[in-house]
């Protein structure tokens, strides 16, 4: 009975209770962390760090992990129930046996108690050993859940990974075997086993280390000449690349956080995907010793698109009114918009914020410059493969429309040129379904890309008008006067895509001056209007305005949505 009680207590209070608690906590934490892990997988997929196949594999692994811990939580309840049932059955057998012995067999209470208690305890010992083994196995399986591989290999690997610990355990057990009153033979047997494991683990560690050294020496002895890279590798081109001076490497090698350049580029890719409708290519970061220590260069398709300088240990401070900062520091020009700025010490950051100045960290300065460069050159980044992928990822309902117009009415390259025309004027192509519908309508009466693009812009009137609304909810416009409308219309020569503008240089100079004066007058009124023209000359007016006011929006009357409130702030 003493042995049975000890085994039952060990099984119920130690092994079963411990493994049940581990399984319960692990299941709870795993299920609580599951939404965050799912969001992390979706974020990596959106940022382009993993593909759809790897994302599916990670989701499947996550589902298996949650199912395993949930199942182990339930299994631990079965094991605990088995231990409780064993105790109840023992009490029922003893009491029932005594009642049967006294009432049915006619023996005395003492004899019935002795006989049935002995039988019950014997049966309990026989059934308790398998229950103890099952509980121990469940505890090992739950406890090793964080280690990959089989349970026996993980157990032996962890026990044999520290020969000194096994040696110390063997020494302690030898000392305990020599103590008076302690069972000598079992402790000596355990001490011998631990010593044998320690010696085997030490020999294995020495052998593995020797093999590693020998392998390293063999590789060094070979000294094989470096493999010459194929000449075709020199033809590879990076769509987007940032070259950094050596002092700026801390922006990408610094501690984890929101100030890291890599994190901001990931966020930028996600933002452009939402704003413009396609995922920009990955950005390659590398150092260039030919640059100044604090200088960086942004290259698009190996051609320099912009450069600037930032100081990784300082903060850029700017006045929202465009005035020079009087704080001590290095005066400079903000690389994105050309505003006067000053690089100041971090100790002056709070003072600048209190004074209402704009304080920007170095990584944000670089990422903001990169954002404007990408928006200005985003049409060059939309490749044929990107367009094909966008068409393939359209909803199934839109595939019939694509099949109707491609390639019979327009090719994928033609759609690419239309989308590039929209992106060049910073119009999002996220509403690809409406754009394709506009293309399908336009190809019925024209095959020229500029005409198709203008028709698509008219179909996107709601989007274009909404993107240029003022904070007060109306569309401020600076209209082109009838005289300039006639002058542009009379200066057009040629037909179709060959149509071009043949206006005298002096006349163009007058137009540029008039546009500048009109926008300056609107700016004094606190307005940022769009230049409104007729549909026939819009592209030619935009081509001229883009050279001296690249951020100015030029719209035609067909692109103004009927329900948009208008406010005329002037005329050119």
Element (H, E) at 305: strand 303-309
Close Cβ partners of 101 (under 8 Å, ≥ 6 residues apart): 107, 111, 112, 115, 116
Residue whose entry in the numeric block shows the structure tokens 């030898």: 174
Token couple for 252: 């990408």
pTM over 0.95: no
**Interhelix angle 261-276/362-381, nearest 10 degrees:** 40
User: Which one-letter DSSP state was computed for residue 15?
Assistant: I
User: Which one-letter DSSP state was computed for residue 529?
Assistant: P
Strands 315-318 and 340-344, sheet pairing: antiparallel
Round to whole Å and give the CA distance between 417 and 450: 9
Strands 295-300 and 240-244, sheet pairing: antiparallel
Supply φ then ψ for residue 238, to 5 degrees. Answer: -90, 125
DSSP string of 446-512, one letter each residue: ---HHHHHHHHHHHTHHHHHHHT--TTS-EEEEEPPHHHHHHHHHTEESSGGG-EE---HHHHHHHH
Round to whole Å and give the CA distance between 118 and 103: 19
- Sheet of 340-344: strand order equals 330-333, 340-344, 315-318, 358-360
pLDDT digits (tens, 9 = 90+) for 21-57: 777 777 777 777 777 888 888 888 777 778 888 888 8
Close Cβ partners of 535 (under 8 Å, ≥ 6 residues apart): 454, 458, 556, 557, 558
Round to whole Å and give the CA distance between 560 and 566: 9
Round to whole Å and give the CA distance between 145 and 148: 7
pLDDT truncated to tens, each residue of the chain (572 aa)? 777 777 777 777 777 777 777 777 777 777 777 778 888 888 887 777 788 888 888 888 888 777 777 777 777 777 777 777 777 888 888 888 888 888 888 888 888 888 888 888 887 777 777 777 877 777 777 776 556 666 666 666 666 667 787 888 888 888 888 888 778 888 888 888 888 888 887 888 788 788 888 887 777 666 555 566 677 766 778 888 999 998 888 888 765 544 578 888 888 888 888 888 888 888 888 888 889 988 999 999 889 999 999 988 889 998 887 788 888 888 888 888 788 899 998 888 888 888 888 888 888 888 889 988 888 888 888 989 989 999 988 888 888 888 888 888 899 999 999 999 999 998 999 999 999 999 999 998 888 888 899 999 999 999 999 999 999 999 999 999 999 999 998 898 877 667 788 888 899 999 999 999 999 999 998 899 999 999 889 999 999 998 888 889 999 999 999 999 999 999 99
* Backbone conformation region of residue 356, classed left if phi is above 0, alpha if psi is from -120 to 50, else beta: left
For residue 101, which of 86, 114, 88 has the smallest C-alpha distance? 114
Round to whole Å and give the CA distance between 541 and 492: 11
For residue 267, which of 370, 380, 117 has the smallest C-alpha distance? 370
Round to whole Å and give the CA distance between 390 and 279: 10
Q: Taking the CB of residue 49, how many other CB atoms lie within 10 A of it?
A: 12
201-210 long-range contacts, CB within 8 A, separation 24+ = 201/160, 201/161, 201/162, 201/163, 201/166, 202/163, 204/160, 205/163
Residue whose entry in the numeric block shows the structure tokens 């005298």: 504
- For position 257, what pLDDT does the model report? 47
Cis peptide bond N-terminal to 407, omega within 30? yes
3-state SS track over 350-409: HHHHHCCCEEECHHHHHHHHHHHHHHHHHHHHCCHHHHHHHHHCCCHHHHHHHHHHCCCC
Residues 69, 34 contacting (CB under 8 angstroms): no
Round to whole Å and give the CA distance between 560 and 543: 20
Residue whose entry in the numeric block shows the structure tokens 């209007």: 529
pLDDT digits (tens, 9 = 90+) for 352-397: 888 888 888 888 888 889 988 888 888 888 989 989 999 988 888 8
Give SS3 for 299.
strand
Q: Taking the CB of residue 167, how many other CB atoms lie within 10 A of it?
A: 17
């Amino acid at each position: 009975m003493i042995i049975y009680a000890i085994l039952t207590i060990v099984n119920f209070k130690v092994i079963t209770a411990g493994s049940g608690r581990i399984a319960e906590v692990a299941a709870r934490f795993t299920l609580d962390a599951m939404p965050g892990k799912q969001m992390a997988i979706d974020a990596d997929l959106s940022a382009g760090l993993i593909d759809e196949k790897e994302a599916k594999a990670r989701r499947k692994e996550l589902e298996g992990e949650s199912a395993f811990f949930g199942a182990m939580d339930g299994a631990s309840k079965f094991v605990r129930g088995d231990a409780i049932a064993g105790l109840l059955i023992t009490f029922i057998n003893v009491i029932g046996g005594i009642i049967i012995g006294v009432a049915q067999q006619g023996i005395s209470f003492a004899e019935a108690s002795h006989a049935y208690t002995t039988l019950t305890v014997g049966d309990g010992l026989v059934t308790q050993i398998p229950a103890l083994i099952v509980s121990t196995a469940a505890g090992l399986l739950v406890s090793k859940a964080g280690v990959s591989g089989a349970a026996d290999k993980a157990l032996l690997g962890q026990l044999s990974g520290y020969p000194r610990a096994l040696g110390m355990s063997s020494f302690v057990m030898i000392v305990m075997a020599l103590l008076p009153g302690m069972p000598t033979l079992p402790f000596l047997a355990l001490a011998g086993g631990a010593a044998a494991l320690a010696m085997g683990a030490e020999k294995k560690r020495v052998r593995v280390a020797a093999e590693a050294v020998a392998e390293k020496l063999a590789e060094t002895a070979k000294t094989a000449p470096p493999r010459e890279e194929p000449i075709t590798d020199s033809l590879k081109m990076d769509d987007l690349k940032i070259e950094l001076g050596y002092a700026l490497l801390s922006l990408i090698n610094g501690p984890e956080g929101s100030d890291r350049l890599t994190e901001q580029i990931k966020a930028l890719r996600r933002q452009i995907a939402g704003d413009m409708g396609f995922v920009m290519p990955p950005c390659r970061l590398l150092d260039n010793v030919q640059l100044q220590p604090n200088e960086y260069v942004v290259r698009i398709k190996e051609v320099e698109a912009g450069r600037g300088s930032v100081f990784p240990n300082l903060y850029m401070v700017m006045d929202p009114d465009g005035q020079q900062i009087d704080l001590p520091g290095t005066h400079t020009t903000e690389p994105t918009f050309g505003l006067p700025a000053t690089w100041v010490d971090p100790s002056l950051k709070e003072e600048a914020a209190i004074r209402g100045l704009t304080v920007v960290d170095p990584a944000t300065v670089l990422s903001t410059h990169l954002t404007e460069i990408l928006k200005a050159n985003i049409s060059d980044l939309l490749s044929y493969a990107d367009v094909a992928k966008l068409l393939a990822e359209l909803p199934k309902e839109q595939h019939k429309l694509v099949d109707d117009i491609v390639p019979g009415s327009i090719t994928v390259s033609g759609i690419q040129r239309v989308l590039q025309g929209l992106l060049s004027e910073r119009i999002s192509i996220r509403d690809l379904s409406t754009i394709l519908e506009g293309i399908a309508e336009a190809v019925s009466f024209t095959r020229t890309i500029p005409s198709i693009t203008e028709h698509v812009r008219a179909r996107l009137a709601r989007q274009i008008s909404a993107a240029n609304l003022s904070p007060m909810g109306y569309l401020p416009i600076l209209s082109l006067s009838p005289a300039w409308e006639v002058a542009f219309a009379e200066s057009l020569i040629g037909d179709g895509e060959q149509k071009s503008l043949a206006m005298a240089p002096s006349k163009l100079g007058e137009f540029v001056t008039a546009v500048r004066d009109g926008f300056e007058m609107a700016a004094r009124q606190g307005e940022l209007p769009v230049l409104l023209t007729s549909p026939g000359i819009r592209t030619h007016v935009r081509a001229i305005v883009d050279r001296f006011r690249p951020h100015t929006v030029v719209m035609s009357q067909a692109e103004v949505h009927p329900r948009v409130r208008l406010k005329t702030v002037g005329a050119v």
